[in-house]
Amino acid sequence: MIEASLVILFVLSTLIGLLASYGGFTRFVFIFYLKMVVFHLSILLAAFCALFGTLITYFYNEGCIVAMNSFNFICSFWLDIDFEIRGLEKIEEASGPENKPVVLISNHQSSLDLFTLSKMWPSKTTIMMKNSLKYVPIFNVGAIMSNSIFVDRNNKNNAKEALNDAITKMKDKKLKVWVFPEGTRHHQHGLLPFKKGAFNIAVQAQFPIIPIVISDYTPFYSKKEKYFYSGGKVIIQVLDPVSTQGFLEYNDVCQLCENVQQKMAQEYEKISEEVANKMKIKPVVGNERDSSYEKIKVG
């Protein structure tokens, strides 16, 4: 494990050195790559450390929270990001003392979401992820021991079977499930249209949906523009639970999906503007993107 990490660091540092010989490779770009290397190594380290904990907590359906706590512990030492979490109590209120299943959905911006989620991960919660992650060494064992639900989005029959299995697992183990309904990471401002998987689960099983909105990372982080500043701020807003009682038809699912997406998009704009103002950054409007974003701080 240590030897492999050293090899990875050596290769990446060599690539960074080669890139540095070309124009446009600034100090900010170097810091971006350095932080991302350390971030992904932190994921591997947290997954390795969590393996031992998940072996014990697997039978209590708490494997995922062990992995998240491990990752939060490691990254909190060096990642300078301030998180403000609002409405967290709504999750436990919806689940109740009986630990009733709940579908949690949030927007998905980048791999940094893993750190964001680790700051508020609820008990007895697992996550839905793409099937290819099942084959990532170390990570896959921790994911399986955390009751993670894998979905092959390219195979509709398998995807439908996975959703049915998810419902069964949630009922039998009294689990909440976290889903990214956009289906992929969206590095631009705003939210993508939602896929219906999470809503099909909720409607079919009559589970409530809790939307969770994460503010835009752009004031301190951008994969496209290659910057990752210290002193970032993130607001996580838990919205009111959405009941699925009475929603039974396909058209109901489509309407529910659209309504929740619009509600989350509105909240996203609101809290993203609030973060931008707190950091004294010009807010991004709609799909606006300024390539010199880091230079437009306001007085």
Query: What are the backbone angles phi and psi of residue 130, rounded to the nearest 5°?
Result: -70, 150
Is 264 a member of any domain?
yes
Q: If you average pLDDT over residues 261-283, what whole number do you get?
A: 90
Q: Could you give the C-alpha distances from 87 to 39, 110, 178, 236, 288, in angstroms and in order?
A: 28, 23, 16, 9, 29
Instruction: Name which residue leads in pLDDT, 156 or 133.
Output: 133
Write the CATH number for 165: 3.40.1130
Q: Is residue 294 part of a domain?
A: no
Percentage of residues in the chain having pLDDT higher than 90: 44
Number of separate domains in the chain: 1
**pLDDT at residue 166, rounded to an integer:** 86
Give the pLDDT of residue 246: 81
Residue appearing with tokens 């939060």: 72
Residues of the domain holding 23: 2-282
Mean predicted confidence (pLDDT) in 220-225:
91
Radius of gyration of the chain (CA): 20
pLDDT of residue 3 exceeding 60: no
- Encode pLDDT of 237-257 as tens digits: 999 999 998 877 777 889 999
Query: Residue 12's pLDDT is what?
Result: 58
Q: How far apart are CA 123 and CA 237, in angstroms?
A: 18
Q: pTM for this structure?
A: 0.84
DSSP codes of every residue in 178-205? EE-TTSS---SSS-PPPPSHHHHHHHHH
- Sign of the dihedral through C-alpha 136, 2, 10, 30: positive
Taking the C-alpha atoms of residue 242 and residue 284, their distance in angstroms, rounded to an integer, is: 28
Under the banding of pLDDT at 50, 70 and 90, the label for residue 129 is: confident
Over residues 89-115, the pLDDT tens digits come to 999 999 988 889 999 999 999 999 999
Q: Is 235 a domain residue?
A: yes
Could you tell me the two tokens for 207? Answer: 């589970």
Residue 212 β-bridge partners: 106, 238
* pLDDT tens sequence across 32-63: 988 998 998 888 888 787 777 777 777 776 77
CA atoms of 265 and 260, how far apart (whole Å) = 8
Nearest residue to 126 via CA among 102, 152, 97, 161: 102
Q: Is the pLDDT of residue 234 over 80?
A: yes
Q: Which residues contact 6 (CB under 8 A, 6 or more apart)?
A: none
The answer to whether position 296 is within a domain reads: no
Question: Position 126: which residue type?
Answer: T
Is 297 domain-assigned? no
Distance CA 125, CA 176 (A): 4
